[in-house]
Amino acid sequence: MDINGISKFTFGAPFNTNAVQGGISASSGMPPHIRMGADARSFKCSLCKDDKVYGMGEAVRGINKRGWIYETYCSDDPMHTETKRSLYGAHPFVIVDGEEVFGLFVDYPDRVVFDIGYTKVNEMSVTIGAPDFDIYVIEGETPLEVVRRFRSLIGKSYIAPFWAFGFQQSRWSYNTSADVRNVIDGYRKNDLPLDAVYLDIDYMESFKDFTVSEERFPDFPEFVNEAKSRNIHLVPIIDAGVKIEEGYDVYEQGRDNGFFCKDKDGRDFVAAVWPGKVCFPDFLNEKAAEWFGMKYKRLTDAGIDGFWNDMNEPAIFYSEGCLERAIDKVASYKGRNVGIYDFFALKDAVLGLANSSEDYSSMYHNVNGKAVCHNTVHNLYGFNMTKSASDAFAKIAPDKNILMFSRASYIGMHRCSGIWMGDNQSWWSHIKLNLQMLPSLNMCGFLYTGADMVGFGDNCTEELALRWLALGIFNPLMRNHSALGTRDQEFYRFENREAFRSLLKLRYALIPYLYSEYINAAETDDMMFKPLAFEYRGDKFAEAVEDQLLVGGSIMIAPVCEPNAIGRSVYIPEKMLAVFFKSENSFRTKIYDKGHHFVEIPNDEVVVFIRGGKALPLVNSAACTAELDFSTLRFIANGAEGAIFTLCREAGVQNGRSVIEKQTLAVFGDEAETSFEVV
Q: Name which of 140 and 455 has its Cβ closer to ligand GLC.
A: 455
Q: Can you give the C-alpha Rg of the chain in angstroms?
A: 25
- Segments in 155-248 forming alpha helices (H): 177-189, 220-229
Q: Name which of 115 and 200 has its Cβ closer to ligand GLC.
A: 200
Is residue 523 within 8 A of residue 631, CB to CB? The reply is no
Determine how β-strand 196-199 pairs with β-strand 168-169: parallel
115 binds ligand GLC (CB under 6 A): no
Element containing residue 437 per DSSP (H, E):
helix 429-443
Q: Which of 167, 174, 160 is nearest to 188 (CA)?
A: 167
Min CB(97)–ligand GLC separation in Å: 33
Is residue 558 within 8 A of residue 607, CB to CB? The reply is yes
Min CB(423)–ligand GLC separation in Å: 5
Total number of residues binding ligand GLC (CB under 6 A)? 9
Sorted by sequence, the CB contacts under 8 Å of residue 663 that are 6+ apart come out as 646, 647, 649, 678
Cα separation of the two ends of the chain = 42
Q: Which of 51, 134, 200, 209 binds ligand GLC (CB under 6 A)?
A: 200
Min CB(434)–ligand GLC separation in Å: 15
Is the peptide bond preceding residue 314 cis, with omega within 30 degrees of 0? Answer: yes
Min CB(621)–ligand GLC separation in Å: 28
Q: Name which of 154 and 272 has its Cβ closer to ligand GLC.
A: 272
Q: Give the number of other CB atoms < 10 A from CB of residue 264.
A: 12
Element containing residue 209 per DSSP (H, E):
none
Q: Name which of 281 and 531 has its Cβ closer to ligand GLC.
A: 281
Q: Name which of 472 and 617 has its Cβ closer to ligand GLC.
A: 472
423 binds ligand GLC (CB under 6 A): yes
The C-alpha atoms of residue 119 and residue 122 are separated, in whole angstroms, by 9
Distances (CA, A) of 497 to 147, 370, 407, 504, 586: 41, 58, 31, 10, 17
407 binds ligand GLC (CB under 6 A): yes
Sorted by sequence, the CB contacts under 8 Å of residue 209 that are 6+ apart come out as 238, 239, 242, 243, 250, 295
172 binds ligand GLC (CB under 6 A): yes
Q: Name which of 366 and 486 has its Cβ closer to ligand GLC.
A: 486
- Which 3 state secondary structure label does DSSP give 311? coil
Q: Name which of 362 and 449 has its Cβ closer to ligand GLC.
A: 449
310 binds ligand GLC (CB under 6 A): yes
The C-alpha atoms of residue 629 and residue 645 are separated, in whole angstroms, by 18
Min CB(353)–ligand GLC separation in Å: 17
Q: Name which of 315 and 533 has its Cβ closer to ligand GLC.
A: 315
Min CB(454)–ligand GLC separation in Å: 13
Is residue 117 within 8 A of residue 66, CB to CB? The reply is yes
201 binds ligand GLC (CB under 6 A): yes
- Considering only residues 345 through 364, tell me which ones interact with ligand GLC, judged by CB under 6 A: none
Q: Name which of 289 and 421 has its Cβ closer to ligand GLC.
A: 421
Q: Name which of 422 and 531 has its Cβ closer to ligand GLC.
A: 422
Is residue 614 within 8 A of residue 589, CB to CB? The reply is no
Q: Name which of 149 and 243 has its Cβ closer to ligand GLC.
A: 243
Min CB(209)–ligand GLC separation in Å: 12
- Considering only residues 470 through 499, tell me which ones interact with ligand GLC, judged by CB under 6 A: 481
Min CB(481)–ligand GLC separation in Å: 6
180 binds ligand GLC (CB under 6 A): no
Beta strands in 27-88 (DSSP E): 35-36, 42-46, 52-55, 68-71
526 binds ligand GLC (CB under 6 A): no
Burial of residue 190 (number of CB atoms within 10 Å: 0-12, 13-18, 19+): middle
Element containing residue 82 per DSSP (H, E):
none
66 binds ligand GLC (CB under 6 A): no
- Which 3 state secondary structure label does DSSP give 402? coil
Q: Name which of 281 and 422 has its Cβ closer to ligand GLC.
A: 422
Min CB(185)–ligand GLC separation in Å: 22
- Segments in 12-159 forming alpha helices (H): 143-154
Encoded amino acid at 178, one letter:
A
Min CB(616)–ligand GLC separation in Å: 33
Which single residue brings its beta carbon nearest to ligand GLC? 172
Determine how β-strand 276-279 pairs with β-strand 270-273: antiparallel
- Considering only residues 236 through 255, tell me which ones interact with ligand GLC, judged by CB under 6 A: 237
- Considering only residues 126 through 165, tell me which ones interact with ligand GLC, judged by CB under 6 A: none
Min CB(275)–ligand GLC separation in Å: 11
Min CB(320)–ligand GLC separation in Å: 22
501 binds ligand GLC (CB under 6 A): no
Min CB(654)–ligand GLC separation in Å: 32
Q: Name which of 423 and 490 has its Cβ closer to ligand GLC.
A: 423
41 binds ligand GLC (CB under 6 A): no
Is residue 397 within 8 A of residue 654, CB to CB? The reply is no
Given the rule CB under 6 A, which residues bind ligand GLC? 172, 200-201, 237, 310, 407, 422-423, 481
